[in-house]
């Protein structure tokens, strides 16, 4: 994202700040709480030029809103209206807020609170979940992939891989987290499936086309509970650098503290979610299966210096072993712009490297 034409920001002198590498700390939350930091270690200095800090305030109000009750309506007119809105949202933004989704508010609140409680456990209590590589179903860690990074993210994460039909492997503490998460994963998967049906229709395909092409009902979900501690220099660090997600659709909620920004036609736009909505990112596997029609959204997480932010992202993807390429029906009328690759291989390519915009898609793009 560096723009060499933009002025470089100089850090205040911070001789007292240890210059840590994220591989040396289990948790940025614990690190930030252990000392009174007035500045960030320079290894967290992401926003080195002013261009990357600019936000297009005027675009925030244009973020599409999808009324889920229209999509699932028996009234053909209302349903068609929902599909049309979805088509526009996917084509123009790759991002939308879903209202009237039917997920109980109390479940959303409870699972966010539990995610916070998880991160509030001590580093020692969480040690058994420490990230030992992408093939492990439960991973607790900091930044994204510290080993591969020069610049780190001001973020701790818990990632849990869920395969369906569910054998739900999940942290057994805090007590009750597993049960809430299981319920939340099930209801979000059902919403994601309905959205994919509408998206299939919006591409002129039969409603089950994407679910079939990706074996969605047996598909992978990745639950990601992010914690972004208050940061002494939120104008310089990021909670997550610009990236797209690997799956089909990511459904996200947060604890009432904003920070997500999406990239719309080259400009960063702040997301101010409507109360109790579900935020949806279109992700890389949707770009592949739609043969490039619906492009995955580039997004990043920004920080603040007062409040801890929690976000809960549920990544909904194809079945793990499924070889995914553009939907066959689409290829009757157009050339493939992506080659096929198993979702497992794609997932591992994304997770084993550093986060780098949408670079992972280049592995499957046909030039
Ligand atoms: O915290 C957020 O708003 C974004 C999180 C995210 O992009 C992710 O977990 O992939
Ligand atoms: Fe993301």
Give pLDDT, residue 165. 80
- Distance between CA 19 and CA 160 in Å, rounded? 30
Q: What is the pTM of this model?
A: 0.94
Give pLDDT, residue 16. 60
- Token pair of 67 as six digits: 């009324």
Residue 46 CB less than 6 A away from ligand 1: no
Within 8 A by CB and 6+ apart from 260, the residues are 252, 254, 270, 271, 279, 299, 300, 301, 302, 311
Give pLDDT, residue 48. 86
Q: Which atom of ligand 1 is nearest to the CA of 250?
A: 10
**C-beta of residue 118 within 8 angstroms of C-beta of residue 174:** yes
Query: HSE on the CB side for 35, CA within 13 Å?
Result: 10
Q: Which atom of ligand 1 is nearest to the CA of 157?
A: 9
For a mutational test of ligand 1's pocket, the pick from 161, 283, 313, 356, i.e. the residue with the most ligand atoms closer than 8 A to its C-beta, is 313
- Distance between CA 220 and CA 324 in Å, rounded? 13
For ligand 1, atom 1, name the residue with the nearest CA. 311
Q: Which atom of ligand 1 is nearest to the CA of 224?
A: 9
Residue 313 CB less than 6 A away from ligand 1: yes
For ligand 1, atom 10, name the residue with the nearest CA. 245
- Give the closest ligand to the alpha carbon of residue 297: 2
Domain 50-363: assigned CATH number: 2.60.120.330
Residue 224 CB less than 6 A away from ligand 1: yes
**C-beta of residue 326 within 8 angstroms of C-beta of residue 290:** yes
From the CA of 225, how far away is ligand 1's center (Å)?
9
Give pLDDT, residue 7. 47
Spans of the chain below 50 pLDDT? 1-15
Residue 260 CB less than 6 A away from ligand 1: yes
Give pLDDT, residue 1. 38
- Where along the chain do its domains lie? 50-363
């Amino acid at each position: 994202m560096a723009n060499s034409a933009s002025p470089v920001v100089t850090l205040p002198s911070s001789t007292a700040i240890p210059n840590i590498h994220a591989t040396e700390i289990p948790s940025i939350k614990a690190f930030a709480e252990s000392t009174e930091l007035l500045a960030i270690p320079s290894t967290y200095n992401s926003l080195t030029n002013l261009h990357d800090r600019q936000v297009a305030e005027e675009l925030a109000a244009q973020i599409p809103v999808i009324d889920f009750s229209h999509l699932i309506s028996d009234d053909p007119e209302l349903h068609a209206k929902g599909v049309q809105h979805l088509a526009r949202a996917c084509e123009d933004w790759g991002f939308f807020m879903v209202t009237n989704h039917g997920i109980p508010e109390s479940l959303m609140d409870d699972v966010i609170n539990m995610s916070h409680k998880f991160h509030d456990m001590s580093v020692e209590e969480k040690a058994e979940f420490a990230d030992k590589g992408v093939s492990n179903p439960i991973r607790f860690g900091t930044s994204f992939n510290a080993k591969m990074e020069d610049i780190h993210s001001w973020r701790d994460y818990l990632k849990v891989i869920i395969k369906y039909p569910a054998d739900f492997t999940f942290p057994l503490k805090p007590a009750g987290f597993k049960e809430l998460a299981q319920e939340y994963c099930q209801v979000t998967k059902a919403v994601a499936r309905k959205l994919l049906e509408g998206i299939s229709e919006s591409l002129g395909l039969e409603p089950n086309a994407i679910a079939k092409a990706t074996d969605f009902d047996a598909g992978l979900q990745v639950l990601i509970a992010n914690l972004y501690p208050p940061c002494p220099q939120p104008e310089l660090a990021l909670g997550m650098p610009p990236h797209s997600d690997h799956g089909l659709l990511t459904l996200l909620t947060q604890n009432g503290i904003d920070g997500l920004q999406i990239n719309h036609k080259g400009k960063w736009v702040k997301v101010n979610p409507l109360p109790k909505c579900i935020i949806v990112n279109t992700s890389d596997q949707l770009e592949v299966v739609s043969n490039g029609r619906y492009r995955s959204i580039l997004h990043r997480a920004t920080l603040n210096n007062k409040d801890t932010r929690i976000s809960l992202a549920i990544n909904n993807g194809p079945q793990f072993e499924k070889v995914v390429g553009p939907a066959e029906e689409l290829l009757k009328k157009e050339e493939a712009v992506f080659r096929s690759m198993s979702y497992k291989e794609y997932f591992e390519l994304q997770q084993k490297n550093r986060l780098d915009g949408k670079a992972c898609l280049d592995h499957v793009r046909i030039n």
